[in-house]
């Protein structure tokens, strides 16, 4: 089995380089296609989209913007000739402006509903306010549109874009260590970047302590978060933003600037609504970090930059063995061949444990170190949470299992009605129901043979029938789980970890379950408490990408896939995309399994090649024969992207 898995991984890595790492260089080798080998996958025949790389010299107001995409129905927009490039302005034709997605803290409306907001600072003396970031009020002409998901539906800005200096400059990017910066980005193309630094200044981050800054900010705003609001005003929920790092992790300047952006935008600028935490996995199981404060401190300081020491919590697999002791019997199929306490199979153990130590938070964001976001963190995370809160429970599982392609399905309301109609017409046999769960899912799914489960909560029981509900149940209810890829049924795929299910009786059918690829998610305190109880009390667990969705399904908790904008490097025909992603003809063709090659050219998937390449080009780095300073200066300048989630970014 190990050998088979090794071959499978090698094949996937090879494909990734083919579709991701090598997807840039071929398109400029020349017109003679005989130089290139034939594309190994059908989607590679689609026209490549190059509008992503149009730079700030081509900026236009949104009203004049025309996307490159033709959805494979006509040729893409014509590329600018060298003569046309030469006629472009040497400086960006639009000026960067402060980007502020926060509520108007000083408004009468806010004051009526909430306790007062108090501004937060980087330093104890309150001389340096939490910085702002900057965006251009327009888009590069012919910038490509997202293929699935939507800015407008989630309430995200789609008419502005971020270049690397406006986005990262306020955090030490683009100026020297002597000025308190990080010394990266200094030598890249930077025409017009002085307009950012004239507004933002050069913040000196020498001696920065982000943990103390978060604590001071939270303390100043404590009245906003107290459970009992004496004034009768609305309590602001608190959220933990948890990044998963490990001993031996390489801290580059780009990773430092990314973490600074998260802390500033989520925590300090919001008046403490979020706290950013590093959850550091101590890989050496022989180190009893829980027994020795001195060992704990030395391990921390050897593995984390000083500015982040006070936001870091250490844990180890050995510690989880004590917290969730053996035995964990009756595993259906351990395809990874590793311990149930190993981080690969049970990364959620540490998050469950962390949530038990921090009762002050309503929600916990599980974030990975190789995720990057080119937009504003507070806007993205807050608007996603608000959108999920508005979603009705009727059809929520059925909508969340599909890719919503606006150019094909129409707006989200039309998509919702389409899914309802299709669900009602669907004919499921009894065997499929036993294997995959009922269709539609309505309330807790516990009517299957199992080894014993905790009873669902009363508040998760449906107040009426599916038919009688008029899309009202669940509206205004916070989501217990928000994921960023569809919540699919592993039983209908050949996803390799589909059967990594532990603690249920193997003489009975495997429980119905759901999964979402990539563990990036928001989890409620209620969900994590249920996962914790099922783990220690009932000895139940599953593969990390399957466990939170399965617990939501079994206990009737509210789970939703948030359709954030995802870009593709090809101009897919959307009808074909719908068939490939939503209606695979065979189990093996599912995009969550052997059909995953279809997502190699996306901006967000676990093994995407396009995501990292696009991010590095946005940073102005040389990538597969393109990009870099000379390339940008000869061409249209540095890139400017809308807010986009990039995963994975394995190096910068």
Q: Is the pLDDT of residue 402 over 70?
A: yes
Residue-level length of the chain: 652
| pLDDT number for residue 76 | 84
Phi and psi angles of residue 373, each rounded to the nearest 5 degrees, phi first: -130, 125
Looking at 21-25, 338-342, 461-465, 571-575, which range is the least confident one?
A: 21-25
- Helix pair angle (525-536, 547-555), 10° resolution: 100
Query: Which alpha helices (H) appear in 236-287, and where do they start and end?
Result: 253-262
Residues 130-149 have a mean pLDDT of 98
Residues 165-187 have a mean pLDDT of 96
| pLDDT number for residue 231 | 77
- Helix pair angle (525-536, 343-357), 10° resolution: 120
Nearest CA among 174, 231, 172, 228 for reference residue 203? 172
CA–CA dist 10, 7 (Å, integer): 5
Q: Are 497 and 545 in contact (CB under 8 A)?
A: yes
User: Each residue of 9-37: pLDDT tens digit?
Assistant: 334 334 333 344 333 323 333 344 446 67
Residues 135-160 have a mean pLDDT of 98
Residue whose token pair is 């409306």 = 109
Residues 154-175 have a mean pLDDT of 98
Residues 186-196 have a mean pLDDT of 96
Residues 342-353 have a mean pLDDT of 97
User: Each residue of 606-645: pLDDT tens digit?
Assistant: 999 999 999 999 999 999 899 999 999 999 999 999 999 9
| pLDDT number for residue 570 | 97
Cut 0.85: pTM above it: yes
Structure tokens at 237: 């929920």
CA–CA dist 278, 241 (Å, integer): 8
Mean per-residue pLDDT over the chain, rounded: 92
CA–CA dist 468, 478 (Å, integer): 22
Which residues of 90-179 form beta strands (DSSP E)? Answer: 97-99, 133-135, 139-140
| pLDDT number for residue 35 | 61
The residues facing 55 across adjacent strands are 639
DSSP string of 477-502?
PPPSEEESS--B-GGGS--TTTT-EE
Residues 470-481 have a mean pLDDT of 98
Query: Which alpha helices (H) appear in 234-342, and where do they start and end?
Result: 253-262, 293-303, 317-323
Structure tokens at 445: 């799914």
SS3 645: strand
DSSP string of 521-532?
EEEEHHHHHHHH
Query: Which alpha helices (H) appear in 275-411, and where do they start and end?
Result: 293-303, 317-323, 343-357, 377-390, 396-400, 406-409
CA–CA dist 112, 116 (Å, integer): 9
User: Each residue of 412-438: pLDDT tens digit?
Assistant: 999 999 999 999 987 544 345 445 789
User: Each residue of 483-525: pLDDT tens digit?
Assistant: 999 999 999 999 999 999 999 999 999 999 999 999 999 999 9
Residues 541-548 have a mean pLDDT of 98
Structure tokens at 304: 């984390």
Residue whose token pair is 């030598």 = 187
Structure tokens at 70: 């033709």
| pLDDT number for residue 601 | 97
Q: Is the pLDDT of residue 355 over 80?
A: yes
Residue whose token pair is 């990266």 = 184
| pLDDT number for residue 521 | 98
- DSSP secondary-structure letter at 50? -
User: Each residue of 77-133: pLDDT tens digit?
Assistant: 888 999 999 999 999 999 999 999 999 999 999 999 999 999 999 999 999 999 999
């Amino acid at each position: 089995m190990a050998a088979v898995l090794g071959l499978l991984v090698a094949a996937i890595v090879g494909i990734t380089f083919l579709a991701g790492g090598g997807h840039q260089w071929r398109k400029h080798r020349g017109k003679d296609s005989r130089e290139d080998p034939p594309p190994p996958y059908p989607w590679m025949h689609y026209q490549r989209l190059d509008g992503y790389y149009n730079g700030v010299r081509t900026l236009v107001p949104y009203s004049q913007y025309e996307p490159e995409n033709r959805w494979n129905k006509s040729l893409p927009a014509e590329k600018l000739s060298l003569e046309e490039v030469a006629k472009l302005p040497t400086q960006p034709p639009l000026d960067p402006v402060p980007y502020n997605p926060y509520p108007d803290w000083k408004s009468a409306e806010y004051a009526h509903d909430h306790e007062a907001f108090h501004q937060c600072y980087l330093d104890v003396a309150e001389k340096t306010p939490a910085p702002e970031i900057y965006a251009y009020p327009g888009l590069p002409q012919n910038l490509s549109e997202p293929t699935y998901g939507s800015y407008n539906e989630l309430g995200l800005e789609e008419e502005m874009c971020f270049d690397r200096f406006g986005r990262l400059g306020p955090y030490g990017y683009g100026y020297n260590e002597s000025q308190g910066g990080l010394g990266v980005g200094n030598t890249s193309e930077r025409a017009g970047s002085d307009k950012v630094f004239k507004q933002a200044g050069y913040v000196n981050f020498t001696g920065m302590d982000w943990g103390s800054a978060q604590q001071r900010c939270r303390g100043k705003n404590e009245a906003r978060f107290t459970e009992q609001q004496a004034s009768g005003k609305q309590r602001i929920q608190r959220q933990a933003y948890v990044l998963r790092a490990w001993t031996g992790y390489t801290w580059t300047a780009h990773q430092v600037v990314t973490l600074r952006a998260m802390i500033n935008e989520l925590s300090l600028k919001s008046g403490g609504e979020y706290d950013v935490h590093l959850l550091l996995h101590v890989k050496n199981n022989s180190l009893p970090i829980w027994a020795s404060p001195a060992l704990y401190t030395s391990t921390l300081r050897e593995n984390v930059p000083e500015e982040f020491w006070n936001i870091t919590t250490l844990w180890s697999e050995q510690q989880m063995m004590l917290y969730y002791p053996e035995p964990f019997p009756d595993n259906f199929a351990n395809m990874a061949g590793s311990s149930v306490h190993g981080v690969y199979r049970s990364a959620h153990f540490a998050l469950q444990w962390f949530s038990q130590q921090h009762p002050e938070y309503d929600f916990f964001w599980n974030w990975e170190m190789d995720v990057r976001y080119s937009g504003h963190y507070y806007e993205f995370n807050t608007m996603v949470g608000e959108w999920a809160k508005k979603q009705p429970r009727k059809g929520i599982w059925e909508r969340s299992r599909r890719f919503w392609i606006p150019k094909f399905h129409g707006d989200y309301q039309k998509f919702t009605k389409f899914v309802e109609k299709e669900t009602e017409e669907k004919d499921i046999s009894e065997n499929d129901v036993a294997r995959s769960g009922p269709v539609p899912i309505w309330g807790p799914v516990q009517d299957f043979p199992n080894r014993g489960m905790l009873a669902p909560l009363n508040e998760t029981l449906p107040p009426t029938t599916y038919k009688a509900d008029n899309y009202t149940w669940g509206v205004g209810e916070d989501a217990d789980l928000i994921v960023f890829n569809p919540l699919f049924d592993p039983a209908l795929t050949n996803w390799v970890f589909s059967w990594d299910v532990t603690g249920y009786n193997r003489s009975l059918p495997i429980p119905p379950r759901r999964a979402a690829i990539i563990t990036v998610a928001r989890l409620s305190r209620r969900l994590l408490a249920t996962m914790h109880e099922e783990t220690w009390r009932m000895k139940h667990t599953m593969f990390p990408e399957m466990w939170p969705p399965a617990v939501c399904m079994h206990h009737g908790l509210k789970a939703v896939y948030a359709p954030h904008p995802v870009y593709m490097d090809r101009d897919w025909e959307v009808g074909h995309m719908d068939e490939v992603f939503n209606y695979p003809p065979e189990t093996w063709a599912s995009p969550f399994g052997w059909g995953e090659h279809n997502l190699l050219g996306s901006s967000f998937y676990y093994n995407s090649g396009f995501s990292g390449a696009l991010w590095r080009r946005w940073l102005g780095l040389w990538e597969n024969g393109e990009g870099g300073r000379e390339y940008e200066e000869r061409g249209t300048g540095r890139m400017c992207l809308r807010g986009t989630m990039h995963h994975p970014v394995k190096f910068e």
